[in-house]
């Protein structure tokens, strides 16, 4: 970048421009494991749509690449400047503009954190359901990756909640898109087609009451078969998580707080289903729970454990959300996130476990059953170097199997630069549509180059 360009950036009123040592290491990576850092030439922190528009106009004229960044919690390398240029941080665009209780909508800037979106909705007696787990992610990042998570089966994904969006295009044009148009492709493009500068979100009525039920099973296939039966029945669980015994045990040891049962009356628990049932009030939830307990007799679970107090529900969720970080304690580990039609979960999980048995490492899994998303973690006591080839072979084999079973090998974490080939083989038509949209909306290829449809 020339000094002249830097000076033009610095002349954009209010835009904060960081250069050289002012650029912290955090701007050079996201949460993609074992990835090399990529440093931008400059970081620009914007506070307004106007600043974003002026910056994009300048970068378009100069052919300079721009990588938009929310909180950098992505796990596909999507917000990392693999081709240098500018990182445009929107974390200061973090105002909630308005909440309309009657219309049940929230208008806000993209840098608002998910945890703040949820808390604001709650303070108005409303509910914003999408929740990928990482609550320090921004709403802009969530929408740009169409983030999902445990409740996506019942409530849908992040893009499903966007009513309209203000966008800045690659040439600096400011425009709005409404849900009547094809929002999902542009919004969920991981910052490759436009910069989101404002969102209007649909909120829903908060469930009046809810309860968490834990159903431990003696074997994994019975647990998944039970999950299928529950999905066909009338209970409409907001969440149905499958957690295998190995991940529960491993994570419980790391946190020192083994919340989920490891055995029931001397029988080892091979898998647990965690269900959340919702109804309009406490009485209705009580009644639903009783109906469920009666129904569950045919499910072959070892017990039903009830979490009805706020503290118990928090404890269950904290134990579930700890799975991910617990893996950091392994000497070497590999994570693969894929999704398959829920009827194929057993086949995929059994296959992944067999790879671990053959390769001499432990494979653990948990799954958002209704949408078929599975998080696999392979852990080993081998050194990282020793494990590297096995980890790569495991990830490749699981993803190939997932495609064979009719699933998506990119699943929740998006494409970024890490999953481009898998995007192509999971969804050839979607890939072609993205290529066409890129040619139309960003012909100079300055928005987030090296991502989604273009190798770095």
Ligand X SMILES: Cc1cc2nc3c(=O)[nH]c(=O)nc-3n(C[C@H](O)[C@H](O)[C@H](O)COP(=O)(O)OP(=O)(O)OC[C@H]3O[C@@H](n4cnc5c(N)ncnc54)[C@H](O)[C@@H]3O)c2cc1C
Does 251 contact ligand X by CB under 6 A? Answer: no
Q: Is 160 helix (H, G, I), strand (E, B) or coil?
A: helix
H helix runs in 279-344, sequence order: 282-295, 310-326
Which of 78, 203, 214, 285 is the binder for ligand X (CB under 6 A)? 78
**What are the CB-based long-range contacts (under 8 Å, 24+) for 111-115?**
111/70, 111/138, 111/139, 111/140, 112/138, 112/139, 113/71, 113/137, 113/138, 113/139, 114/138, 114/139, 114/142
* 178 beta partners: 164
Site string for ligand X, 176-195 (x = CB under 6 A): --------------xx---x
| 134 near ligand X, rule: CB under 6 A | yes
- In the list 81, 85, 110, 407, the residue contacting ligand X (rule: CB under 6 A) is 110
132 contributes a contact to ligand X by CB under 6 A: yes
Nearest residue relative to ligand X (C-beta): 141
Q: Rank residues 226 and 452 by Cβ distance to ligand X and give the closer one.
A: 452
DSSP at 27? G
Q: Shortest approach of ligand X to residue 14 CB, angstroms?
A: 18
The verdict on 92 binding ligand X (CB under 6 A) reads no
Find the shortest distance in angstroms from Cβ 8 to ligand X: 22
**Out of 81, 85, 129, 141, which residue is the one contacting ligand X (CB under 6 A)?**
141
Return the residues of window 419-448 that contact ligand X according to CB under 6 A: 448
Report if residue 68 touches ligand X, rule: CB under 6 A.
yes
Provide the 10 A C-beta neighbour count for residue 415.
Answer: 28
Contact mark string toward ligand X, 255..294, x via CB under 6 A: ----------------------------------------
Q: Among 144, 333, 342, 408, indicate the residue that binds ligand X (CB under 6 A).
A: 144
* Binding of residue 408 to ligand X (CB under 6 A): no
DSSP class of residue 199 equals E
Q: Is 317 in the site for ligand X (CB under 6 A)?
A: no
CA distances from 239 to 212, 277, 370 (A): 9, 8, 8
With CB under 6 A as the contact rule, the residue among 324, 362, 390, 401 that binds ligand X is 324
Least gap, CB of 37 to ligand X (angstroms): 14
Answer yes or no whether residue 74 interacts with ligand X by CB under 6 A. Answer: yes
Q: What are the residues whose beta carbons fall under 8 Å from the beta carbon of 19, sequence distance 6 or more?
A: 6, 41, 42
Q: With 0-12 CB in 10 A as exposed, 13-18 as middle and 19+ as buried, what is 231?
A: middle
**Rounded Cα gap, residues 81 and 40, in angstroms:** 6
Tokens (6 digits) for 80: 């990392």
How many residues bind to ligand X according to rule CB under 6 A? 37
Residue 45 lies near ligand X (rule: CB under 6 A): no
**Alpha carbon of 442 to those of 11, 186, 187: distances in Å?**
25, 11, 14
CB of 180 to ligand X, least distance (A): 20
Nearest Cα to Cα of residue 82 among 99, 65, 96, 104: 65
447 bridge partner residues:
66
Three-class SS state of 161: helix
- Does the footprint of ligand X cover residue 137 (CB under 6 A)? yes
* Span interacting with ligand X, options 128-136, 227-235, 246-254, 419-427, rule CB under 6 A: 128-136
User: Where does this chain bind ligand X (CB under 6 A)?
Assistant: 30-31, 67-75, 78-79, 90, 110, 132-134, 137-138, 140-142, 144-145, 147-149, 190-191, 195-196, 324, 412-414, 448
């Amino acid at each position: 970048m020339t000094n002249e360009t830097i000076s033009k950036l610095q002349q954009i009123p209010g835009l904060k421009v960081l250069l050289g040592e002012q650029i912290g290491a955090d701007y050079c990576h996201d949460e993609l494991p074992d990835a090399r850092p990529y440093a931008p030439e400059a970081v620009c922190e914007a506070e307004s749509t106007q600043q974003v528009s002026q910056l994009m106009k300048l970068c378009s004229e100069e052919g300079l690449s721009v990588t938009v960044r929310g909180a950098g919690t992505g796990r596909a390398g999507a917000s990392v400047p693999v081709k240098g240029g500018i990182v445009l941080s929107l974390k200061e665009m973090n105002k909630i503009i308005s909440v309309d209780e009657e219309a049940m909508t929230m208008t806000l800037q993209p840098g608002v954190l998910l945890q703040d979106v949820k808390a604001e909705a709650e303070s108005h007696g409303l509910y914003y359901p999408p929740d990928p787990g990482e609550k320090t992610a921004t709403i802009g990042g969530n929408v740009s990756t169409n983030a999902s998570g445990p409740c996506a089966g019942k409530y849908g994904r992040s893009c499903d909640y966007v009513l309209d969006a203000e966008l800045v295009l690659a040439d600096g044009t400011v425009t709005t898109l409404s849900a009547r148009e094809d929002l999902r492709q542009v919004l969920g493009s991981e910052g490759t087609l436009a910069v989101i500068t404002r969102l209007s979100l649909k909120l829903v009525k908060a469930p009046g009451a809810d309860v968490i039920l834990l159903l431990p099973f003696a074997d994994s296939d019975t647990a998944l078969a039970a999950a299928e039966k529950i999905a066909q029945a009338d209970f409409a669980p907001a969440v149905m998580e499958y957690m295998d015994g190995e991940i529960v045990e491993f994570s419980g040891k790391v946190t020192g707080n083994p919340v989920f049962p490891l055995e029931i009356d001397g029988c080892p628990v091979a898998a647990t289903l965690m269900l959340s049932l919702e109804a309009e009030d406490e009485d209705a939830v009580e009644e639903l729970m009783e109906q469920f307990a009666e129904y569950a007799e045919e499910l072959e679970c070892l017990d039903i454990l009830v979490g009805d107090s706020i503290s118990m529900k928090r404890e269950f969720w904290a134990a579930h959300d700890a799975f991910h970080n617990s893996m950091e304690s392994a000497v070497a580990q590999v994570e693969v996130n894929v999704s398959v039609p829920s009827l194929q979960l057993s086949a995929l999980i059994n296959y992944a476990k067999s790879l671990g048995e053959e390769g001499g490492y432990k494979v653990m899994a948990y799954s958002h059953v209704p949408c078929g998303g599975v998080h696999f973690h392979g852990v080993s006591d081998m050194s990282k170097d020793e494990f590297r080839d096995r980890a790569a072979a495991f990830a490749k084999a699981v993803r190939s199997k997932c495609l064979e079973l009719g699933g998506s090998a990119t699943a929740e974490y998006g494409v970024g630069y890490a999953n481009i080939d898998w995007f192509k083989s999971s969804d050839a038509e979607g890939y072609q549509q993205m290529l066409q949209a890129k040619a139309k909306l960003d012909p100079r290829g300055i928005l987030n180059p090296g991502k989604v449809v273009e190798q770095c």
